[in-house]
Amino acid sequence: MKPETILFISQATDIAAGREIDLCIADGTVIASGSAGTLTAPEGARTIDATGLYILPGLFDLHTHISITGKETGYCVAAAAAAARQGGVTGFQCMPNTSAVLDNGAQITSLMDIAAAQPGISIVPAGCISQNCEGEQQAPYDTLRCKGVKFITDADHIPHNLLMLYRAMKYACELGLTFALRGDLPQLTEKTYAHPSVTSYRLGLHGTPSCAEEIGIETIIRLAGDAGAAIHVQTVSTAGGTEIIRRAKNEGQRITAEAALHHLIYTHENIGDYDTNFKTLPPLRDRSDCEALIAAINDGTIDCIVSDHTPRIPFAKKQDFCSAPHGMIALDTYLPALYTSLVRPGHIGWQKLLQACAVRPRQLLGLDVPELREGSAADFILFDPEGTTEVTPVMLQARTENTPLLGTTLHGRVINITEA
């Protein structure tokens, strides 16, 4: 939406409040709101008849990777921002394993200068736990904090030097930083590629045992508890992991957790005959694990659903399964995929979805949650539940195709208010 444009939205269904509303927006700010039929469009305003459309707070993704090997950082940030807007995401936290890792103030500043040029999107940097994400030397935490960092993480890896991690927790907890860590026991997961199952046996792939993740989660919980640090468990994939987190929360531990969308909807069976688009970290698990994760979102054990958006150049995913990198892209199709796979079938209601994908992520980062009231930022999207989203190579913003959704049609369509 151009700064001088006044936008009047009529008859939109406010999912959060369960009512139809009218809304007037100018310069990116809500200047008037009320029940449907109570407002009149200002003279010269552009009007959208939103009958049948839902108005939702823009989603916020707590776990986005932007790096694409061979692409410069500016391109990667712009591509991720465009993908996010298309998928109904108006903000995301960028993991620090970019082409130049975010382990110092200069790199954070450089990234944020690029991010500031992206319209309609808020990008928050996560900082590194260790220098260059190598797991040995602590990064300068106070410098990172002063640059706006709230979460520190070595992205896909837990530092192998646990003494360094423990000392880092003792130090950084005084700065109010949260440690975002994935449960892992590298001694059990090195050179493993899939969940141990009939699929891994049939394909001859070494299995990544669930207990490796669960032992890893127990370890970081114990370290953080002793150090007094807050932790956020990344990409939980097992039923056992949810039970460990549930118990820790009940005991008063300072712990939050996330699950990636693909761990909620896919299983190891989707790998088929070595489809590398289904190679993820952690690997896709059993259907019972998917069900346990969904139950944990519904009861609040898992705080957030994340995309774990990981773009890969086409060649990388065309390698054999063991050599191909893990990860799939998800931002481009995020809200339609959530709606198609979770909301429409009745696995998760709209209120839970918005809590996990819009409200809670912002709360964890200390950000304002969008509200439909006068004076608030117009950080909202429109969603057509009767529309469709065709997943084609052209619509994928980073021009990468590492998604199993390519060639499918999803239920629902995002309409970004800032671009209306």
Residues designated as active site = 308
The span from the CA of 185 to the CA of 176, in Å, is 27
The span from the CA of 310 to the CA of 97, in Å, is 11
* Buried-state track 97-136, b at ≥16 Cβ within 10 A, e below 16: bbeebbbbbebbebbbebbeebebbbbbbbbbbbbbbebe
The span from the CA of 312 to the CA of 396, in Å, is 12
Which residue type occupies 309? Answer: H
Which residue type occupies 244? Answer: I
Could you tell me which of 256, 329, 253, 343 has the C-alpha nearest to residue 294? 343
The span from the CA of 246 to the CA of 249, in Å, is 5
> Parallel, antiparallel, or unpaired: how do β-strands 46-49 and 304-306 relate?
unpaired
The span from the CA of 33 to the CA of 23, in Å, is 5
The span from the CA of 199 to the CA of 272, in Å, is 8
On whether the CB atoms of residues 195 and 207 are closer than 8 A, the answer is yes
Give the other-Cβ count within 10 Å of 390's Cβ: 12
